[in-house]
Structure 1
Amino acid sequence: MSATVSIHQGKLEGDDQGGLFVFKGVPFAAPPAGARRWLAPEKAESWTGLRDARRFGAVAHQNAVMLSALSAIVVDGEQSEDCLYLNVWTPAPDGKRRPVMVWIHGGAFSIGSSSQPLYDGSVLARRGDVVVVTVNYRLGPLGFLRLADVTNGKIPATGNEGILDQVAALQWVRDNIAEFGGDPGNVTIFGESAGGMSVGTILAMPSARGLFHKAIAQSGASHTGAPVARANRTAERVLSKLGVHPGDAAAIRALTPAQLLTGTLLDDGITPDPELGMAYQPVADGTLAPRAAIEMVADGSASGVAVMVGSMLEEWKLFSLMDPSLHKLDRAGLGKRISRHLTAPAADALIDAYEKARAARGEPVTPAELFTAIETDRVFRIPGVRLAQVQGRHDPRVFSYLFTWPSPAMHGALGCCHALELGFVFGTNHLPGMTAFAGTGPAAEKLAVQMQDAWLAFARSGDPGCASAGTWTGYTEARRPTMVFGANTKLEDAPRDQERRAWDAIPDRIFGSL
């Protein structure tokens, strides 16, 4: 069956799935192609007649997805520069003002899409009587390559075009979501990994102010963003790899998406250049993002916004799969790795603190395990903790969580790794490949219910406390209450605090980046 909705641009025909209405491939901005490549998004064009909204739109150009064995995270479909589409799941396109949850997908700002099966909004929309929106945004060199400086303004790309796409999607939600039965005055943004980092960035952006009212940052916070100098070095390196001169704007514009995607790869055309780290990320450009996002939030940029933030217990174990030398790591090698970001004395002190804390709990203290624990906290957990700290000084509605459920995959080698919570939040652990990754059985189902209920409660009222997960006290620096999601979900004060304290003297600039 079909259903129709009239929005500002025209009429849409979606699917009536019996108690749930789904509209896919809805354009929220004009195609950022041709003369619009590397420009800020422009308003979507209108149409006459009835537009088919029963199929997903094209996805952003990207290289092959990691872990493609998990079919639930595979990015299918046509890739195109014309990729600025969103999808809506709603219990009814009526006049009811339901909470709205806008999902920003992850993928290192280089891969992913709003149409991945893992992010199907059906379960959340049905369970919580909410409207779920998933959005695409430009990725990699088309969304996060800063060209304004290296081309002397001939190509005005700021390196934040992908983030501006997300803001444009929120503007579309403000203007149109009431037609889908959603409340534009009660919008929650949520995202994981690069999506969580996007949420942390949007909390700081003046242009996004007022477009959302609550935010959930999963495995990402407000510490990820390149200074202009780093973004310019990345652009220079990419253009050099592609054999074009920065002054030749015509040659740069003539590059195809396929060519651009090779700009951060080694000569084998597959392996990312390790010297670039996470090459593409938001840029603290002084205008769109006036300063580092965590500094902006600390100064009150997101005052009045309820925030929930958290991470996985062993995030880095997912990335360890791509680090074959890790199992050979000795103490000297560990010190060298940690010293990439810290002075040698600070690195040694940090390693010692982790070794003592883990040994006291009976946890492994091999160099590989210590490196995984330290990188998990440097890139993911401590940025979340610091976001909770600074936002809590402006709004009491700040909530912290730690996810501890282990993956059964690879005989437990993945531990409680990055991205493991996604199927629990969306209720998509039943999809092919997900059971082996996330586990199954009554305990897994109970955990999924707890997380969905908490996310939905937060979206509804700004308080994630619920009957299934229990009362959830707001974060304070005195107690640091944290909901620990796992086989025995419970609220704990200051979990793993010895490790957290080991970072106290370390500045924000070394967190959240690769």
Structure 2
Amino acid sequence: MNILDRRDFLTRLSLTTAALYLPNYGFSSLVKQEGFIDVEITHGRIRGARNEGVNVFKGIPYAGRTSGDRRFRSPAPLEHWTGIRETLQLGAPAIQPPRQNEPDPSEDCLFLNVWTPANDNKKRPVMFYSHGGGYVGGSGYSRSQDGSNLARNFDVVVVETNHRLGLLGFLYLDEIAGSEYQGSGNRGMLDIVEGLKWVNANISQFGGDPDNVMIFGESGGGGKTSCLYAMPDAAPYFNKASIESGPGVRMTSKENAAETTAMLLKELNISAKDWRKLLAVPALDLLSIQAKFPTVPPFIEKNNNNRRIGFGPVVDGEALPYHPFDPTASAISKNKPLLVGWNEDEYTFFAWQQKDTETFKLDFDGIQKKLEPRFGADTKKIIDTYRKSRPNASAPDIFVAISSITMMGLGSIEIAEKKSEQNGAPVYLYNFGYKSEMKVPGTDYQMGTPHAMDISFKFNNEVPPRDGSQPVASFFGGGRPERFAASHNFAELWTTFARTGKPAAKNAPEWSAYNLQTRPMMRIDTKCEVINNRYSEELAMWRSVGKL
């Protein structure tokens, strides 16, 4: 294979990171700056800005250099600075295609952003978010995950990091490099741990409580949160977690990670004993080669014995000692409450992403043929079960339901079951179900509740404009004003969980912890409801075919 040129590379990678490059309409970028805020932190003084009642600090360095001789290694120590360092602009995201309205990507990317109602002595709950984009794209800032409304409307402190991604964040060198490179297969995860350590040391200066930290994340960020939940280095620095549409039950094995490394070295014509030559390969060339490898999904199916090559967290026995939720839930987080769940129509996002319009023209024979390569002899049983439980559903409806639950739902349920079996802190299972009227492009099929739509809702960024102007439609959420109520419900449930360890909202019923008897699930919408033993017939079938 030849190294892709930049244009081909950007085209291919965009298919795996499209959620992070959504058009920004629907989220106002006009804020009224009210002044500057100076704060003393561990390495010097910084200056942020107060915008519409929220203090915002962008591009704070939380660890040192990761380029040059620090590639694939722990960061260099962060150097102290003199004077006041302005933190008014975003820091560089990790190496990836250029991101809209952000600095050029860089190997030196260890920056974070903070949103707080005030830099006072209050002890607000801290919501520490890991972004999506698989393990290859994204950053600690996009319009949909702007933390201003959570901070302003719910009196919390929001923190989001940039951290190493892809090949530069997850290349497993432990077996061929020296001791300085131990943990290389989880370098991106260990960067996030450095961010948590920064929070522990500094967040009190931002009105946050270092002893009440919630980690959460969507898609790849859900997978990262799953890993943090099982990482000894992270354990002292958070108190509760939420895994959203990214159920990281299992991660990449050392064997598969070593195979990925061998394939990469072969592609570069570098022998294992000469691995140090990787340090001299330009980052863009590494990025181009990365695009030739399959992406690692947050959820790896049960009993999937296929090779899993690609770049993502590695069960290396040290940084990540074992799979986060296989065979059991992590013992080190037994006493930490957990939220986990998914969106009802995850697949429609991927249809949009892949320009799939043909699926929505299929009849039941057509969807059987489409599903058979994946499910083989079980395909008819699967479809028949869904047709029985959803008698009014069309063939595309059934395909979306099957694809959505197998992508993100079965893993979420597996996590809830294993956490419940621990008899430790509670776990709460949810479905997000608000239905957008937006159509899958090129079809008349409504998106419903696609993958990634939850981001703007749980960050309370589906709100009427603060200046009283006419609301505009958001990319996935659509234009109906009912979405504002669903967004408020979602955000209130999450911020209450951050504050107390139990999700609750004024307009939502009591949400009981998940258990193996009644199996309660909260369906989040304009009107929230708790549904016991939801999808019971379908889940019984998935268990019978070995998928749960």
* TM-score over 0.5 (shorter chain): yes
- For each residue in 1:245-273, what CA deviation from the matched residue of structure 2 results, as whole angstroms up to 9, or x when unmatched? 33322321111111111123359xxx979
Task: Quote the RMSD (CA, aligned, Å).
Answer: 2.8
Assess if the C-alpha contact under 8 Å between 1:75 and 1:112 holds in 2. Answer: no
The amino acid across from 1:435 in the alignment is S
Partner of residue 341, structure 1:
none
Alignment of 1:151-230 (within 5 A): 156=182, 158-230=184-256
The residue number in structure 1 matching 2:56 is 22
2:90 paired with 1:56: yes
Contact 1:6–1:12, Cα closer than 8 Å, also in 2: yes
**Alignment CA distance shift 1:330-1:22 (3 Å):** closer
Does residue 286 (structure 1) correspond to residue 320 (structure 2)? The answer is no
- 1:24-173 counterparts in 2 under 5 A? 24-63=58-97, 74=100, 76-149=102-175, 156=182, 158-173=184-199
Deviations 1:183-228 (A, max 9, x none): 0010001100010111111111111112100101110123141111
SS in 2 for 1:408: strand
2:97/2:105 contact within 8 Å kept: no
Correspondence 1:380-391 to 2 at 5 A: 380-391=408-419
Judged with a 3 Å threshold, the aligned counterparts in structure 2 of structure 1 residues 250 and 209 are, in CA distance, closer, same or farther, namely closer
d(CA) in 2 for partners of 1:118 and 1:434? 13
Equivalent residue number for residue 523 of structure 2: 484
How far 1:237 moved relative to its partner? 2.2
Q: 1:398 aligns with which of 421, 424, 427?
A: 427
Q: 1:296 to 1:468 in 2, by over 3 A?
A: same
1:138 is paired with a residue of what secondary structure?
coil
2:284 corresponds in structure 1 to: 258
Change (3 A) 1:433 1:189: farther
Deviation at residue 320 of structure 1 after TM alignment: 2.8
Tell me what 2:273 maps to: 247
Aligned AA (1:139): L
Residue among 422, 446, 451 paired with 1:418: 451
What is the CA distance between 1:503 and its match in structure 2? 2.9
Alignment correspondent of 2:46: 12
Identity %: 32
Alpha-carbon distance in structure 2 between the residues aligned to 1:330 and 1:118 = 33
Partner of 1:68: none
Equivalent pair of 2:115/2:151 in contact (CA under 8 Å): yes
Q: Cα distance, 1:493 vs. partner?
A: 0.7
Task: Decide whether the 8 Å contact of 1:222 with 1:294 is kept in 2.
Answer: yes
1:294 to 1:33, Cα distance in 2 relative to 1, 3 A: same
Post-superposition offset of 1:420: 0.9
8 A contact 2:473–2:479 mirrored in 1: no
What TM-score does the superposition give when structure 1 sets the normalisation length?
A: 0.88
Q: CA offsets, 1:74-102, max 9 Å, x none?
A: 47321101101001111111111111000
Letter in 2 for 1:167: V
SS in 2 for 1:362: coil
8 Å contact kept, 1:215–1:306: yes
- SS of 2:331's equivalent? coil
Question: Aligned AA for 2:321?
Answer: P
What's the counterpart of residue 477 of structure 2? 438
On the 8 A contact 1:201/1:293 being kept in 2, the answer is yes
Amino acid at match of 2:137: I
The Cα shift of 1:180 comes to 0.7
What stretches of structure 2 of length at least 5 have no aligned partner? 1-34, 298-305, 466-470
Cα distance in 2 between the residues matched to 1:252 and 1:391: 41
Which is further off, 35-44 or 127-136?
35-44
One-letter amino acid of the structure 2 residue matched with residue 34 of structure 1: G
Cα distance, 1:302 vs structure 2: 0.9
**Which region of structure 1 is more displaced relative to structure 2, 404-413 or 274-283?**
274-283
The amino acid that maps onto 1:379 is M
**Which secondary structure does the structure 2 equivalent of 1:159 belong to?**
helix
Q: Is the 8 A contact 2:199 2:210 kept in 1?
A: yes
Q: CA deviation at 1:504?
A: 2.7
Q: Distance in 2 between matches of 1:241 and 1:414?
A: 40
Which segment is superposed worse, 219-228 or 199-208?
219-228
Q: 1:165–1:36: structure 2 CA closer, same or farther, 3 Å change rule?
A: same
**Aligned partner letter, 2:68:** G
CA contact (8 A) 1:28 1:43 kept: no
Cα pair 1:100 1:132 within 8 Å, conserved: yes
SS at match of 2:106: coil
Does the CA contact (< 8 Å) of 2:125 and 2:498 recur in 1? Answer: yes
Deviation of 1:124 (Å): 0.2
Query: Which stretch of the first structure deviates more once superposed, 374-383 or 174-183?
Result: 374-383
Offset of 1:319 from its aligned partner?
1.7
**8 A Cα contact 1:475 1:482, kept in partner:** yes
- The 8 Å contact of residues 354 and 499 in structure 1, kept in 2 or not, is answered as no
